[in-house]
Structure 1
């Protein structure tokens, strides 16, 4: 009897571990690293279902990937887009900041010398679109037409 109870307990523990692992890294990221990741098909989906305001986002944006803090305003957003950034909001400036989170398959911002200051966001061009992050450096923000 004791052996079957121990076996059942071991199986239950194993199932719990597998369930947590199968639910993805997002649970671990949210609890341990205080960040969450999400994806949106296009700009309209992000505006409707996201909890982040990304005013610089080109209208043709697709394949939107977001990584953001669960405790602060820190965020990084990668988009696929052929569109340009809004000139009334963004201006090209020397890069003084870097994303708080890495989003794979974008651009190594440390190799980029100029970026666009778009209010509280800094945005770098990538081979397939744009990578934006907030917060940015105060000097970048001060140069933006949107500040």
Structure 2
């Protein structure tokens, strides 16, 4: 009987700890004004931009949460693609903007003289790893 009570208490402690960790992550997101998510592939990204390649994998997204209009909130996306970004509406333009939200392992946007601009998004790459961001005010001017 004593063993059963110990197991129940241990399971309760583990569950409370796990719930506490997920609560910490949510608090951290709110405190920093951003929400982060990850997807294995393009099919797993809700409302994926049309320019995101079909072969995109290891997709991390960060969205600013302090904007009064979610449609204009800053966003950044980090992904891997062997095919590259080849959407018809994309063009190479001089880089003037940089992401306000980024990732430690992302390509350095400040090292890019030009970026691939696809509508409201700009992006740069290092090998097969791409960093995309919006807004991209002034890119291409």
Q: When the two structures are superposed, what TM-score results if normalisation uses the length of structure 1?
A: 0.71
Per the alignment, do residues 98 and 24 of structure 1 end up closer, same or farther by CA in structure 2, a change over 3 Å counting?
A: farther
Are positions 1:81 and 2:81 aligned together? Answer: yes
1:113 aligns with 2:108: no
Q: What pairs with 1:1-147 in structure 2 (closer than 5 Å)?
A: 20=20, 22-23=21-22, 26-46=25-45, 50=46, 52-72=47-67, 73-137=73-137, 139-140=138-139
Describe the SS at the equivalent of 1:27.
Answer: helix
Structure 1 residue ranges (4+ consecutive) displaced by more than 6 angstroms after TM superposition: none
> The residue matched to 1:23 in structure 2 has which SS?
helix
Deviations 1:42-74 (A, max 9, x none): 00100xxx3x54221111000000011123321
Deviations 1:81-106 (A, max 9, x none): 11122341110111100011121212
Structure-2 change in CA distance of 1:120 and 1:28 (3 Å):
same
Contact 2:74–2:100 (CA<8 Å) still a contact in 1? yes
Q: Are the equivalent residues in 2 in contact too, given 1:106–1:127 (CA < 8 A)?
A: no
List alignment gaps of at least 5 residues for structure 1. 1-15
Q: Secondary structure at the match of 2:44?
A: helix
How many positions carry a matched residue from both structures? 121
Q: CA deviation at 1:136?
A: 0.5
- Give the structure-2-normalised TM-score: 0.74
Structure 2: 5+ residue runs without aligned partners?
1-15, 68-72
Counterpart secondary structure, 1:105:
coil
RMSD of aligned Cα (Å): 2.3
